Amino acid sequence: MGESSVVSPLKNFLAGGVGGACLLLAGHPLDTIKVRLQTQPISAHNVLYTGTYDCFRKTVSKEGLLGLYRGLGAPLAGVAPMMAISFFGFGLGKQLQQEDASKPLTRTQIFLSGCLAGVFTTVIVAPGERIKCLLQVQSTRGGSMYSGPVDCAVQLYKNQGLRSVYKGTVLTLIRDVPSSGLYFLTYESLKVLLTPEGQSVSQLSTPKILLAGGMAGILNWTIALPPDVLKSNFQTAADGRYRNLLDVLTTLLREEGATALYKGFNAVFLRAFPANAACFLGFEVALKGLNALVPDW
């Protein structure tokens, strides 16, 4: 029998969790730097950090490499399960469409499987984002209505019901479904493209896996960022500020111009490549391990 391409959603789930942990381990240092730069006190005389590299250097020399990994716990508890669900949805989508294990799926089928992954993750991502965004902006708006994520969830639910907790779901779907499709399509297509004639995709070298994963992360964000900006605005707007989603878009374009749709570009892209390269490498290594340990799952 040739190389079988039977997909196991369960193995995808477990390997996806490993991938998510790797994504965070590779991406978190850049996030720490970003937040430290964003929040350093502004005084003209002694700027603490002059830029990204300076912040990196000072953090590592004062606190060691571990300094870059402060606050890892909370995102780890969120990102690893999210990537597990994402890869599970992707695996399920592939499995549902696969009629013959010896035939590779078409590009459209891979894209659709990735879209299904986006639907799955939205169930937990939408309320997570609503809460995160409200907490992130409450200090700049001068109040502290919520003492933390749980308090925020409880208050939203008590005051306005589940609908309020899930405010922004449609935008989250618009953001995550096509981008997730493109994410997985990019990865799988690049893997095929980078495989030398006559060799098997499953033997792809580590640098090529990293390249394919990193590019997948970049493309994901390229199409996800404009709806992300809309979503953040919508989810954090005072009730009644926007009539509907189109209203968010037209208001933003009128008040701030098209560049508003790519706010936060640098921070996001700097991190997307290494984080997603590590994610797919972790996923592939874990999947190989699982295939060797428990071939029948």
Task: Provide the minimum distance between the beta carbon of 153 and ligand NAG in the complex, in angstroms, as a whole number.
Answer: 19
279 residue type, one letter: C
Q: Which is nearer to ligand NAG, 7 or 126 (CB)?
A: 126
Which of 30, 211, 224, 287 is in the footprint of ligand NAG by CB under 6 A?
224
Q: Is 88 in the site for ligand NAG (CB under 6 A)?
A: no
- The residue at minimum Cβ distance from ligand NAG is 224
The structure tokens listed for 295 are 């071939």
- 194-203: long-range contacts (C-beta < 8 A, 24 or more apart)? 200/3, 202/3
**What are the counts of helices (DSSP H) followed by strands (DSSP E) for the chain?**
10, 0
Q: Which token pair is 116?
A: 């299904």
Contact pattern for ligand NAG over residues 251 through 280, marking x by CB under 6 A: -------------------------x----
- In 3-state terms, the chain is what percent helix, strand and coil (to 5)? 75, 0, 25
- Alpha carbons within 13 angstroms on the beta-carbon side of residue 60 total 9
- Per-residue binding string, ligand NAG, 193-222, x by CB under 6 A, is ------------------------x--xx-
Q: How far is the CB of 159 from ligand NAG (least distance, A)?
A: 26
For ligand NAG, give the closer residue by CB, 165 or 219. 219
Tokens of 245: 């989603």
Q: Which residues bind ligand NAG (CB under 6 A)?
A: 175-176, 179, 217, 220-221, 224, 228, 276
